[in-house]
Amino acid sequence: MEAMEPHTEVLEPPMDVLEPHMEVLEPHMEVLEPHDESSTGERLVLKPRVHHLKKTPPTEKHIRLPEHKRHVPEAPQYEFTTRPAEMEKLGWVSPTYHQSRSVTLDPRAIAENRCVAFMSDAPEVEAYRILRTKIMHRIREKGGNTLMVTSALAGEGKTLTAINLALTFAKEFSQTVLLVDCDLRRQKIHDYLKFDSDRGVCDYLLDDCPVSELMVWPGIEKLTLISGGRTISDSSELLGSPRMKELVADLKNRYPDRLVIFDVPPVLATADALAFTPLVDTILVTVREGETAVDDINRALGMLPPDKILGLVLNRTRRPMNSYYPPQKK
């Protein structure tokens, strides 16, 4: 068995999430041992609200958690968590709210798309809080305020991870966050959040659209978005262009205390991630349990600068999260 890249340390929050099932791992830990599925021939494949099992080739090795750590939690209640009065008392006003186009999100609709981190009381929320805290610590150690979220291949949950992280960071009392869709071939953030596409990064790069016209405020305190507009096939040239460098520098330096999260195409699918890597401070790589082969993870990690990698996020796991409080006796 080929070992994981030794330079990549990963975060491991104990968690039990509904969708997407997400966990961050240490590459040297037993949970990252590739699982030979020749004995069972099964791997977990999840769709919204329904759990299925799917056959997989017996010779392929994937990331898989031990069976005793698998659990499906109950569905939580959906509602937005906002704190406008609390913010106003402290004199806090978003620097972009009055400059941005506003959209209204439907909590139930976006929850069905597995954008769940805005919920007030659910296992998912605590799981993402743990992940947020560990990422914040790593970013402070390394310095900078830009984070690129990518994956080895398509379908490994990078966009959902980026969205849920942004929602979770927006709940941090002193943290503002900007989520930027840089997957210029197939922008999806606005689709997941169910708002109409207007202008995005391509419009800035190709049409000199002002940055202020790209910003969207989704009605969630301390969160702004850039997603939508046109798509383009030759996106690697644009993502590595001087114009893109100017945009990243502007977003990074305009509000130094703001975290900027970029959703970027998979490393092994296109040259986009490699072209964009020099522009960011840190990188988070998502992988999918039962789907992502260890060889693909190693190849992707080998193409990224090790000093920028924060770790790996294992998506769609079914690992139970221990409750801090015992269940109430009836």
What is the per-residue pLDDT across 122-158, written as a single tens digit (0 to 9) for each?
667 777 888 899 999 999 898 899 999 999 999 888 9
Domain that holds residue 172: 22-315
Band (pLDDT 50/70/90 cuts) for residue 36 is very low
Is residue 328 domain-resident?
A: no
Which amino acid belongs to residue 95? P
The whole-number pLDDT of residue 180 equals: 97
For 182-293, where are the alpha helices, taking DSSP H only?
189-192, 201-207, 235-239, 242-254, 272-276
Considering the domain boundaries, does residue 320 fall inside one? no
> Is 324 among the domain residues?
no
Query: Higher pLDDT residue, 166 or 21?
Result: 166
> What's the number of CA atoms in the CB half-sphere (13 Å) around residue 312?
30
Higher pLDDT: 92 or 317? It is 317
CA distance linking residue 97 with residue 101, whole number of Å: 8
Helix (H, G, I), strand (E, B) or coil at 157: coil
Residue 170 near residue 177, CB atoms below 8 Å:
yes
Predicted local distance difference test score (pLDDT) of residue 221: 84
Lowest average pLDDT, out of 36-40, 55-59, 106-110, 145-149, goes to 36-40
Domain count, the chain: 1
- 145 lies in some domain: yes
Q: Which residue did the predictor score with more confidence, 46 or 78? A: 78
pLDDT band at 99 (very low <50, low <70, confident <90, very high): low
Q: Per the structure block, which two tokens stand in for 207?
A: 């049409």
173 within 8 A of 133, measured Cβ to Cβ: no
| 44 has pLDDT over 70 | no
Q: Which of 53-62, 267-276, 310-319 has the lowest mean pLDDT?
A: 53-62
Q: How far is CA 134 from CA 20, 22, 137, in A?
A: 19, 14, 5
* CATH code for the domain in which residue 156 is found: 3.40.50.300
Percent of residues in the chain assigned helix, strand, coil, to nearest 5 = 35, 20, 50
Whether 303 contacts 270, CB under 8 Å = no
Name, in order, each residue with C-beta under 8 angstroms of 228's C-beta and a sequence gap of 6 or more: 181, 187, 190, 196, 197, 198, 199, 200, 216
**Per-residue pLDDT tens digits for 192-229:** 888 887 789 999 999 989 998 999 998 888 899 999 88
Q: What is the 8-class DSSP label of residue 184?
A: T
Q: Model pTM greater than 0.85?
A: no
Nearest one of 208, 217, 117, 123 to 168, comparing CA atoms: 117
- Is there a domain that residue 28 lies in? yes
User: Is a pLDDT exceeding 60 seen at residue 262?
Assistant: yes
Q: With respect to residue 16, please indicate whether it lies within any of the assigned structural domains.
A: no
Q: Across the chain, what does the average pLDDT equal?
A: 72
Instruction: Tell me whether residue 65 is in a domain.
Output: yes
- Cα separation of 128 and 149, whole Å? 15
In a domain, 240, yes or no: yes
